[in-house]
Chain A
């Protein structure tokens, strides 16, 4: 069955970095586009970034452009999100989601606080 498990969240100070990962199994990882979507406490969903099936195309929300980098390792069936220069407003649960939003991980929590 399809499984997607995020990891790498934690508490970090503003300006620091964090790297999230999403380990997947149960399907052909290299055939799909993937998203990162986040949800701040008590707020709605916010799309963060997308990477194409082969990693050549990447798109970002304006709020993270220039600070976050999405990547993937098709040999390890893993999606990544490198988050640099973190801000308090980046505090959220970060979800990975498959191409059509048909499968989601349970999320990993990122808290940016001094």
Chain B
């Protein structure tokens, strides 16, 4: 099953802003949007943003999501050391009748 496309790695400095992208097609990201997950090494993933770009309670306002046609984006402002993690996007694919994940982006905070 074809997955979503994410850059393998992004590096930004402390207190800078990072924007992570997730590209799909009309049948997945372009259809109902994508969720964003954060995963620290050795821990289960944590939901950062719902498909409607809303944050669950308890998630910092520094995390925000948006979508433009078939590309979803996660913007993290004021980068902190604890933001260093792997970030995944996922979307329901209406043609495949399956959820698809991106390969993940490893964010490094310099």
Contact = CB atoms under 8 A, between A and B. Distances in A.
User: Bound pair: A and B?
Assistant: yes
Interface of A: 35, 37, 44-47, 50, 59-63, 95, 97, 100-102, 104-107
B98 A60 contact: yes
B95 to A, nearest CB: 13
A47 B98 contact: yes
B58 to A, nearest CB: 11
B38 to A, nearest CB: 11
A101 B101 contact: no
Interface string B1-37: 1000000000000000000000000000000000101
A101 B45 contact: yes
Interface of B: 1, 35, 37, 39, 43-47, 50-51, 56, 86, 88, 90, 97-104
Contact of A50 (B37, B56, B99, B101): B99
Contacts of B44: 95, 104-107
Contact of A44 (B47, B98, B101): B101
A113 to B, nearest CB: 22
B79 to A, nearest CB: 22
B87 to A, nearest CB: 10
A61 B47 contact: no
B71 to A, nearest CB: 18
A102 B99 CA distance: 15
Contacts of B45: 37, 45, 95, 97, 101, 104
A101 B101 CA distance: 12
A45 B44 CA distance: 10
Which of A44, A63, A100, A107 has the most chain B CB atoms inside 10 A of its CB? A44
B45 to A, nearest CB: 6
Given A47-B99, A62-B98, A100-B51, 16 more contacts: A44-B86, A44-B102, A45-B88, A45-B101, A47-B98, A50-B99, A59-B97, A59-B98, A60-B98, A95-B44, A101-B47, A101-B90, A102-B47, A104-B46, A105-B44, A107-B44
